[in-house]
Amino acid sequence: MQVLKQSERHRVRFTLNGERVEGLAEPRMLLTDFIRHEIGATGTHVGCEHGICGACTIRVNGKAVRACLMLAVQAEGKEIETVEGLAAKDGTLSALQAAFHRNFALQCGYCTPGFLMSLVDYLEKNPNPTEADIRIALSGNLCRCTGYAEIVNAALEAAREIQALSASK
Ligand code: FES
Ligand code: FES
């Protein structure tokens, strides 16, 4: 195996959940691996590494992307959001996380960060979804445990709650 020298690694800096982070990445290092192993934020999961399962979904500059389809060096200067940024600093769950908890929308939890980040992105842009909308929005996220019904219920409940909250402001 060829070992790259330190000089062949690139410094990558970006904002992760509002905080500046930086580290060194080999040219072909995936963003998932960089976030998990170089930065140490392991909430973003890795399933297929081929853009199929959605477990690695994060947001980059406000758009949901699969971190296994991005190179770490492509994240330079970007604003990145991961599941670690959803709860409040005091640990209070976001409306979506709380709805997942109430609805038993996870079992092993491996897929959950990806579902949450896909839904954060979708509900921000589509605040009043139908069940069919949610199922289509989540069609790129795979779950081997739940059968999806509870995830869809949680998403619809969270959407109603978020709407009610913003109407009361
Ligand atoms: S690990 Fe990225 S889509 Fe499966
Ligand atoms: S909860 Fe186990 S894969 Fe979804």
Q: Which ligand is nearest to the CA of 113?
A: 2
Residues 52 and 118 in one domain: no
144 lines ligand 2 (CB under 6 A): yes
By most ligand atoms within 8 Å of CB, the mutation choice from 30, 53, 58, 82 for ligand 1 is 53
pLDDT per residue, tens digit, the chain (169 aa), is 555 565 589 999 999 999 999 999 999 999 999 999 999 999 999 999 999 999 999 999 999 999 999 999 999 999 999 999 999 999 999 999 999 999 999 999 999 999 999 999 999 999 999 999 999 999 999 999 999 999 999 999 999 999 898 888 7
- In this structure, are 75 and 101 located in the same domain? no
d(CA 123, CA 121): 6
Distance 37 CA to ligand 2 centre (A): 22
Per the structure, the complete domain to which residue 24 belongs is given by 6-82
In a domain, 122, yes or no: yes
Q: What is the CATH number of the domain that holds 31?
A: 3.10.20.30
According to the 3-state scheme, what is the secondary structure of 120-167? HHHHHHCCCCCHHHHHHHCCCCCCCCCCCHHHHHHHHHHHHHHHHHHH
CATH (domain of 138): 1.10.150.120
User: Last residue of a domain, which of 51, 82, 113?
Assistant: 82
